[in-house]
Amino acid sequence: MEFEKLILILIGASITNNFVLTYFLGICPFIGVSSKIDSAIGLGIATTFVMTLAATVTWLIYYYILVPFNLVFLQYVTFIIVIASLVQFVEMFIRKTSPPLYKALGIFLPLITTNCAILGLTLFMVLRDYNFLESIIFGLGAGVGFTLALVIMAGIREELKFADVPEPLKGAGITLIIAGLLALAFMGFGGIISSG
């Protein structure tokens, strides 16, 4: 039963209730870093890492510091501190290990801090009363979903270079239309699981 629930959370967070295409969270990097598959995968992995870690750390802080001391009203501030520190850490780590990826991601790497998908994740986690293991899986699923959306988008946009796009729609216009179509396509998953 427990295992089944974990699988449901994973699939729910990554596909049926995809953060980008269903909740429309994290649209900025979704449009900004989806022009090349390589950097999309890089940002996807970085975001997944931050999401999983953020879910883990915020769960611990929420249930072992905030709830016992009656400080739940400080959750937003606390979560943002956690996310910002994690992003700083990931930034340093990527800069050290993979300078080309660091360059390709550019400004979008520090901007993971303000990616609302991550704050959204931590708040959903609290709202839905997930336990520790569920939270980790939820973070992982959300990250995988984010990566999936980003990579699909990047793949389409790479092919788009060969397409004959009408002049006024070139650039941002056609990208937003594709994002809308992708969101419609993901609605098709909506009926698979009722809870996510």
Q: Give least dist CB 101 to other proteins, A.
A: 13
- State whether the Cα torsion 37-42-46-49 is positive or negative: positive
Nearer to other proteins, 21 or 87 (CB): 87
Q: How far is the CB of 97 from other proteins (least distance, A)?
A: 8
Q: Whose Cβ is closer to other proteins: residue 76's or residue 190's?
A: 76
- Distance CA(133)–CA(66), nearest Å, equals 19
Q: Which residue has the tokens 């004959």?
A: 164
Instruction: Please report, as residue ranges, which positions from 148 to 177 form the binding site for other proteins (by CB under 8 A).
Output: 168
Number of other residues whose CB lies within 10 A of the CB of residue 64: 10
* Contact status: 85 vs other proteins (CB under 8 A): yes
Report H helices in the chain.
2-11, 27-32, 37-61, 75-97, 99-105, 116-127, 132-160, 172-187
* Interaction of residue 70 with other proteins, rule CB under 8 A: yes
112 touches 50 (CB < 8 A)? yes
Q: How far is the CB of 134 from other proteins (least distance, A)?
A: 23
Instruction: Kindly list the residues in this chain that would bind other proteins in the complex (CB under 8 A).
Output: 61, 65-66, 69-71, 74, 77-78, 81-82, 85, 88-89, 92-93, 95-96, 99, 106, 168
